[in-house]
């Protein structure tokens, strides 16, 4: 029998890498009976981390879906990776859920990256509960984790306190009921009295919690002020109402690895988080809205595309509105083409189960082999078009060049990587017009490396990863006048072009300016554009290090021509010759690209990071410290941060992250310029 929509839950599990998200998801599935054994990330045996790259590195690199029944009600969960290399599409993934279970590590507390993720959750308007995991660890500090919530601008409602005996996590104290739940064999919980040593803390916390719940609702607040007490039903209703409005955030404690606390988390998800019917309408393009109405027109959002070795391409759909079954034909709002869905599949990691009943809003299902549908598309009823508004993805942070191990297989490499773009919308693939390199851009070094590894494994192509050529530029200072003369006679019609140009450097960012100052017809008008083209082509090839010359002006003011031998080609060559002579007479310099680097790190790592940026010739623009983390902004030469991600990870214990964007060009220091020019000459000689 289908689950009533008011009891259905669709949520994402969000948190930083290493906090135990996948272990928590595994515990929930095990407690709900969806899997028959409790897998472990360390052993590579979890249901949700099934890609070879995930089992090898003991961490998620792509989102995974699962579904389970709790109290006979169907719930859907989405496990989102926590490594910054694999979270570039988080805003898109959050479009597919109604709420979030936000996981914190009881040892590390609120890491800098957690603040970024929490801001994304809040921006998406998703009600949340917080689960403090790993309270069984030696250095676990539940209170420290709670204190860190102040940096997230959260109004926490602490529903549980962990109970420890010596070094062991043995139970939780329920703040509202005043009872303890003590763990027995296999994590089963039994009700008991709260230990005397914890009783006062629980009593004090209960008073604070009740006040917080009352303050979230005017009627409850009036009743509380008048009667001084709220009933159990009042507390339940008020707490859920506050969570749905985003004003209250319940906090629970658990140890996923020890299988302790799962029932409480499952119960909180069902009791406190919203159903599809509780959420506000979905925002579409051009101001359109679509409510989650099971009887309304059908709309489905493709929030992720996965590659399956047996089914081919799998599109993960979130049903926004309406009710569908496997024979539905829907219109892709982007392509305007119809897509027949075929079999609908429930996903449990890599396991697929046919969905036999019609499904409505909130459900997450997979569909195989759609013709021309990709991540971010909306499939809808042809008679009621709707397109969900897609978020703007963050810019890629790092670019590497790809090359085949065997020459001549460049197209094979490009085709293999192109196929990965369908399932990973945070990758960008292109070619460098200057160098001919195949360029792959992503969210970090690990992101690029694992993407290449995946392409090698799936498509049997050997790919060599190399750092791409930094896009240096050249420019000139001063002014000079030169002649460009091209004369060639080899029997028959010859070639003749003659021009005088004045060339001078311009301020940074001015670009290229060409000025026609010919008077008296010394050069016919039809040949002047050819001189311009010759100069531009020569500038693109560079002079010092094969880099494009920028920020200069060329004025052609004199010359001569031959009525028979002159042609556009001859004057193009003359323009090129004039440019090269001018470069020899001026003082060309090498420019290097400077990026604006924004780095977020724990306060204790700030000194190391600033010192490291200085060693990379960076100029720190300022820093801002808040809630235990510091944001540093700096201008740094691009050549110094091509491999910054692993270095930052090492300096901050994996807790730092950064964004990077192009800022401007600056003149390169002489040692840098000499090195780049020498490498260019060496490469040129080898050719």
pTM (two decimals): 0.80
pLDDT of residue 310: 67
Q: Which CATH class is domain 474-586?
A: alpha beta
What is the tens place of the pLDDT at every residue in 272-282?
999 999 999 99
Give the CATH number of domain 4-165+250-272.
3.40.50.300
Is the pLDDT at 687 greater than 70? The verdict is no
> If we measure between CA atoms, which residue out of 402, 407, 432 comes closest to residue 417?
402
What is the tens place of the pLDDT at every residue in 647-656?
888 898 877 8
3-state secondary structure of 541: helix
Element containing residue 578 per DSSP (H, E)? helix 568-585
Q: Where are the domains of the chain?
A: 4-165+250-272, 289-380, 398-469, 474-586, 590-672
Query: Is 398-469's fold the same as 590-672's?
Result: yes
What is the tens place of the pLDDT at every residue in 138-172?
889 999 999 989 888 888 999 999 999 888 999 99
Place 581 in a pLDDT band, splitting at 50, 70 and 90: very high
DSSP assignment, residue 177? T
What is the tens place of the pLDDT at every residue in 489-546?
776 778 999 999 999 999 988 999 999 999 999 999 999 999 999 999 999 989 999 8
> If we measure between CA atoms, which residue out of 278, 283, 289, 220 comes closest to residue 245?
278
End-to-end CA separation in angstroms for the chain: 72
What is the tens place of the pLDDT at every residue in 86-102?
888 999 999 999 999 99
The pLDDT of 262-285, averaged and rounded, is: 95
Place 434 in a pLDDT band, splitting at 50, 70 and 90: low
> For 601, what's the count of Cα atoms within 13 Å in the CB-facing half-sphere?
24
pLDDT of residue 435: 62
The pLDDT of 562-586, averaged and rounded, is: 94
Percent of the chain exceeding pLDDT 70 equals: 98
Mean pLDDT of all residues belonging to the chain: 90
The pLDDT of 367-388, averaged and rounded, is: 92
The pLDDT of 78-93, averaged and rounded, is: 90
Fold of 590-672: Alpha-Beta Plaits (3.30.70)
DSSP assignment, residue 152? G
What is the tens place of the pLDDT at every residue in 389-422?
888 887 776 778 888 887 777 888 888 888 888 8
Is the pLDDT at 238 greater than 70? The verdict is yes
DSSP assignment, residue 141? -
Architecture of domain 289-380: Beta Barrel (2.40)
Percent of the chain exceeding pLDDT 90 equals: 55
Fold of 398-469: Alpha-Beta Plaits (3.30.70)
> If we measure between CA atoms, which residue out of 594, 601, 597 comes closest to residue 648?
601
Is the pLDDT at 71 greater than 90? The verdict is yes
């Amino acid at each position: 029998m289908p689950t009533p929509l008011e009891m259905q839950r669709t949520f994402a599990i969000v948190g930083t890498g290493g906090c135990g998200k996948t272990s928590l998801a595994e515990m929930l599935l095990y407690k709900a009976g969806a899997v028959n054994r409790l897998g472990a990330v360390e052993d590579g045996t979890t249901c949700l981390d099934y890609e070879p790259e995930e089992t090898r590195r003991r961490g998620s690199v792509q989102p995974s879906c699962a579904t389970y029944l709790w109290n006979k009600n169907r719930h859907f969960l989405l496990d989102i990776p926590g490594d910054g290399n694999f979270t570039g599409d988080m805003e898109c993934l959050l479009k597919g859920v109604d709420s979030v279970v936000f996981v914190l590590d009881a040892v590390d507390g609120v890491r800098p990256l957690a603040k970024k993720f929490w801001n994304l959750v809040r921006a998406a308007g998703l009600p949340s509960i917080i689960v403090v995991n790993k309270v069984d660890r030696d250095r676990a500090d539940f209170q420290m984790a709670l204190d860190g919530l102040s940096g997230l601008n959260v109004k926490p409602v602490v529903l549980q306190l962990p109970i420890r005996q010596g070094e062991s996590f043995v139970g939780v104290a329920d703040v509202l009921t005043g009872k303890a739940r003590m763990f027995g064999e296999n994590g089963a919980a039994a009700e008991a009295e709260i230990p005397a040593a914890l009783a006062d803390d629980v009593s004090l916390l209960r008073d604070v919690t009740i006040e917080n719940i009352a303050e979230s609702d005017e009627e409850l607040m009036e009743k509380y002020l008048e009667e001084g007490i709220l009933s159990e039903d009042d507390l339940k209703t008020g707490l859920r109402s506050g969570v749905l409005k985003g004003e209250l955030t319940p906090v629970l404690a658990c140890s996923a690895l020890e299988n302790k606390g799962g029932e409480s988390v499952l119960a909180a998800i069902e009791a406190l988080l919203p159903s599809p019917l509780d959420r506000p309408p979905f925002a579409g393009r051009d101001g359109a809205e679509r409510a989650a109405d099971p009887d309304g027109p059908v709309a489905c959002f493709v929030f992720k595309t996965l590659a399956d070795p047996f089914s081919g391409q799998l599109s993960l759909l979130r049903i926004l509105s309406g009710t569908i079954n496997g024979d539905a034909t829907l219109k892709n709002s982007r392509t305007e083409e119809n897509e027949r869905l075929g079999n609908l599949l429930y996903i449990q990691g890599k396991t697929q189960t046919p969905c036999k009943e019609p499904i409505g809003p909130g459900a997450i299902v997979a569909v195989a082999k759609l013709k021309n549908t990709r991540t971010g598309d909306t499939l809808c009823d042809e008679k009621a078009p709707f397109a969900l508004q897609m978020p703007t993805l963050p810019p890629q942070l790092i670019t590497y060049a790809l090359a085949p191990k065997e020459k001549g297989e460049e197209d094979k490499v490009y085709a293999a990587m192109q196929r990965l773009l369908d399932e990973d919308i945070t990758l960008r693939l292109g070619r460098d017009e200057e160098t001919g390199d195949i360029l792959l851009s992503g969210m970090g070094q690990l992101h690029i490396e694992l993407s290449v590894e995946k392409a090698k494994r799936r498509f049997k192509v050997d790919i060599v990863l190399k750092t791409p050529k930094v896009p240096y530029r050249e420019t000139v200072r001063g002014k000079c006048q030169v002649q460009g003369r091209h004369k060639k006679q080899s029997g028959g019609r010859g070639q003749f072009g003659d021009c005088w140009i004045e060339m001078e450097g311009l301020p940074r960012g001015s670009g290229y300016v060409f000025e026609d100052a010919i008077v008296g017809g010394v050069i016919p008008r039809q040949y002047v554009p050819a001189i311009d083209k010759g100069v531009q082509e020569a500038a693109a090839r560079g002079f010092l290090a094969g880099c494009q010359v920028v920020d200069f002006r060329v004025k052609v003011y004199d010359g001569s021509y031959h009525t028979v031998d002159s042609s556009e080609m001859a004057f193009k060559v003359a323009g090129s010759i004039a440019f090269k002579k001018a470069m020899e007479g001026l003082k060309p310099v090498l420019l290097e690209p400077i990026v604006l680097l924004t780095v977020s790190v724990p306060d204790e790592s700030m000194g190391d990071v600033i010192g490291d940026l200085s060693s990379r010739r960076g100029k720190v623009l300022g820093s801002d410290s808040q809630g235990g983390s510091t944001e540093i902004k700096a201008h740094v030469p691009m050549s110094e941060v091509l491999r910054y991600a692993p270095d930052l990870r090492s300096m901050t214990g994996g807790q730092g992250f950064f964004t990077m964007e192009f800022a401007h060009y600056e003149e390169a220091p002489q040692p840098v310029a000499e090195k780049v020019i020498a490498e260019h000459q060496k490469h040129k000689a080898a050719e």
